[in-house]
A and B are shown apart, each in its own frame.
Chain A
Amino acid sequence: MSSDQDKLIAESVEKALQGDMDAINNIEDRVTRSKAKAALVKAKREAKAAVAEETPRAEKSKAEEAPQAEQTFAAQVAVALEKKFPGSLDTEDVNGHIQMKGEQWYEAAQYLRDNPDFLFDSLQCVTGYDYGTSEDLEVRYNLHSMTHHHAIEIRIKIDRNDSKIPSVEQVWRIGDWFERETYDMYGIEFVGHSNMTRILCPEDWAGWPLRKDYETQEMYHGIVVPKVKDGWE
């Protein structure tokens, strides 16, 4: 009985891959149906993995044929940045974001905002990032242009111990609070910021909460911070 069961599963998975799910749904016996579904999910994952291998090959081939022609938008911004500030880009591969060095970030930010064909006038989001307990930190800026409706993400790696990065508070006014929050959570110092203090945690809070190696402090002004479990559970 199991052989035709597998046949039934195999062909219903084929049909499901083409997209019509009811082939699997109307199998009466519950066990085979769940087996069929599992097989379908496995098949899908293999299909995706196979697709994933081809794309880099495809991309590489595409890059060789027409390196300049229809690059992604991020690549154009990267090229423009490299031309304006030689040496400011960290790595060359641009898949959706630009990796930059921190030194010329303030001038690059101003350039990105004032350049007529970029016009990134709204800083959407500043995200602090921690690669691991002893690796380095990173700040990710999502920029967006209200007029051209395009967006870009810029990442800047910072060393963990002396984490300094130029502040873009003068370029986008909202940077003021975003950077204070990133400072509050990760301890990244934004050089040139007007009021570099904590914004969410109290001033006398110990440690940088979102770093991976953060331990909660025991007491705060005489109040026990961690959960006192005895007597409860």
Chain B
Amino acid sequence: MKKFNVFSLARETMRGHTGWGKQWRNPEPKKQYDVIIVGAGGHGLGTAYYLAREHGIKNIAVLEKGWLGGGNTGRNTTIIRSNYLYDESAGLFDHSLKLWETLSQELNYNVMFSQRGVMMLAHNVHDVQSAQRHINANRLNGVDNEWLTPQQAKEYCPPLNISKDSRYPVMGAALQRRGGVARHDAVAWGYARQASDMGVDIIQNCEVTGINRAPSGEVTGVETTKGTIGAKQVGVVASGHTSILMEMAGVRMPLESFPLQALVSEPVKPIFPCVTMSNAVHAYISQSDKGELVIGGGTDSYVSYSQTGSMHMLQEVLDSIIELYPIFNRLKMLRTWGGVVDVTPDRSPILGKTPVKGLYVNCGWGTGGFKATPGSANVFAHTIAKDEPHKINAGFNLDRFRTGRLIDEAAAAAVAH
């Protein structure tokens, strides 16, 4: 595999970019693998990468029903932060954030991780209390998060409307400076390229249609649109489609899949320097390197796999954006799209073993799993390789819904994205 750097780029420039070679192979599936990962999103590809890199397992297939990176990895608003409340969450997301910080170098692929700061706005006393609770917990967990007055928030984000007369005046904000955004597609491609180079077979246009189990119960492989493929271990990393896959193995999941839309504006010159989000005025926004404002909000209220959403949800999110940033009213929506997000009852992911031997699941990231991509993949690889969870993901087990030991970030008043 050719190393990506300015010298190779210069050399290739001289010869018309004819020598780059493929970023990943497009192999036909083998009959048998050690591990099959279902779903070539960031989490799935990353899992394969870490299995190969850190655990020496190389006989791996990643099966993808469409094109790699085409699930939620390819349709999210790319907000990355780790200022979660609970120890478990902060542990997981900050593990991830640390990996983000060197991911471009590690993958030799510029994922354009941009730590421009994520600011969460407070609009009432309750928001302020909740923000302080987060900030204090984060500080003692070693996660950066700081309180800004409305004026400081405005300095950090000049388009913000902090007028006292607005319907939801800004009472302050919590800022995580290490937070930011990344180029979503590049994350999938970077992992795919390295995984493929280490021998992982990424098989696209290969939908898993069944999970095969031995009479004694353990997993033996999968049925796919490209035939039967054997494996001792199967990791399901299919985000919105997890319930369907797990049902193939007879496991019912505490998940519902909702449509979540995002949209971009036409590109404009740099005007929005950071990422902001708000729970009371539900919307989030950043500006991409190409200049579009990237905007998201809440999900539709009903289960859907259609990858589209409703007109009124677009209106809701734009109402909120314009309330906070009235200068953007004349900007134009360029494109809107939808994803299918799998939501758990406590809004925290499920990441671990299942009642079926050899079957592992990584799901429930809902509206906020892009930020977790490297961390989640990293500990999930550990879980598969060792057949037991890493201490970072131990709490995110499936059992918690029976015991009641939830990790309820939502109940603690922070909506996750």
A binds B: no
Binding site for A on B (CB under 8 A): none
Binding site for B on A (CB under 8 A): none
